[in-house]
Amino acid sequence: MGAGLTGAAAAWELAQHGFKVRVYEQADVVGGHVRTEWLRGIPYEPHGAHIFHTHDAEVWQLVSQLSDFVPYRHRVAIRIRSHELSWPLQRAELSQLDEWAEIQQELASLPPHPDSANFETYCRSLMGETLYGLCIRNYTRKQWGRDPETLSASVAANRVELRNDGYLDLFRDPYQGWPDRGYADLVEALLEPAEIQLGQQVTHEDIADLALPGEPVVITSALDDFFSLDLGPLDWRGVRLESQFISDAKLVQPAMVVNEPDVSVPWTRTIETKWALARLHDTKGTVVMREYPGAAAKHYPVPDTAGVNRALQTAYEAKLAAYSRNPLMPAGRLATYSYINMDQAVRQGLEAARHIVGAQSNLRDKA
């Protein structure tokens, strides 16, 4: 259920083991949030920037086998007044800021390890009050629509850093790239062996009509949707992007993504996907997207400090496990209510499929 990256990976793996696979997708296109669109030959991403990076050699081999990936090392900038600094922040660049004297004093007195009580304590103890106020506090309030101390420190782990090594790429994974024809090309290749039904939303009430008793089902939709909000809605944060085609420019930003922490700027960041494809850099025409938070969409699960959302997700997972007519397996960001990277989404799809393969093999052995 779902023709995004996870569902497509599960479908591919099952087909390789001889299974007949049916995929149901509520949208009228496949790809989910990772789908790339094109305007006059220029790529843009209606659901935000997506960068494939991984240390998982098997996943990298699969995606690069099915779609032509070109080299791309992702860089992000952050705009602080008139300055455009690297993100993650590099200590060597901080002397440009008017607050450098205060920042130096605070950096010298940081604790040996970040305070993981919540997102705010983690960030403040990682970079000091001044940098936190300049770069993180207002950006977080815009992005999440809540005070930073109500978010779990897990939001910061592996995403907020203060570097001193001159390494400017956002990710350090050995395998990185961007599909030359966009992510829809990859998803469609993964789905090639499967039957696909578009424009059909599926809930738990539809399973009896779509699957025979005992047929395993991989669920990649949000579980509150799948169970028709039986236990109440999960808390999600969505974004809305406004795209502008600029015909007389080649590239207009210093990097694909520029973060905007200033509270007077209503968008959180701007994205210029064309940066991913070096072959287009010298051609005229580019698309710049402004990302606005607070849309009625399910892009990001909200890891609250109190754990309320995780408890509700766990209750929904228990309902899934209790469904006796068919084995139902959650996989992917939506179904597991987790903020995962694209390689992890593929990995979860593969592992869900392999669980099915193993279970069916055991049944045959017992028979």
CATH number at residue 32: 3.40.50.720
Do 353 and 229 lie in one domain? The reply is yes
Residue 280 lies in a domain: no
Tokens of 69: 């990936």
C-alpha distances in Å from residue 116, one per residue of 11, 107, 119, 165, 338: 38, 18, 7, 24, 19
Residue 258 lies in a domain: no
Residue 115 lies in a domain: yes
Do 194 and 341 lie in one domain? The reply is yes
pLDDT of 366 reads: 65
Vertex 292: Cα angle to 289 and 293 (nearest 5):
145
Domains identified in the chain, total number = 2
Check: pTM over 0.85? Answer yes or no.
yes
Do 213 and 350 lie in one domain? The reply is yes
Q: Where a domain ends, among 163, 196, 216?
A: 163
**């930073």: which residue's tokens?**
148
Do 218 and 86 lie in one domain? The reply is no
pLDDT of 183 reads: 97
pLDDT higher than 90, residue 272: yes
pLDDT of 367 reads: 58
Per-residue pLDDT tens over the stretch 10-68: 999 999 999 999 999 999 999 999 999 999 999 999 999 999 999 999 999 999 999 99
- The C-alpha atoms of residue 282 and residue 188 are separated, in whole angstroms, by 29
pLDDT of 157 reads: 80
Do 331 and 202 lie in one domain? The reply is yes
Do 211 and 84 lie in one domain? The reply is no
Residue 198 lies in a domain: yes
Do 147 and 203 lie in one domain? The reply is no
Residue 90 lies in a domain: yes
Per-residue pLDDT tens over the stretch 217-254: 999 999 999 999 999 999 999 999 999 999 999 999 99
Do 150 and 101 lie in one domain? The reply is yes
Residue 91 lies in a domain: yes
First to last CA, the chain: 29
Do 114 and 230 lie in one domain? The reply is no
Do 158 and 10 lie in one domain? The reply is no
Residue 158: band (very low, low, confident or very high) from pLDDT cuts 50, 70, 90: confident
pLDDT of 101 reads: 96
pLDDT of 363 reads: 63
Residue 173 lies in a domain: no
Do 205 and 159 lie in one domain? The reply is no
Domain that holds residue 153: 76-163
Mean pLDDT of 180-195: 97
Do 226 and 82 lie in one domain? The reply is no
Residue 57 lies in a domain: no
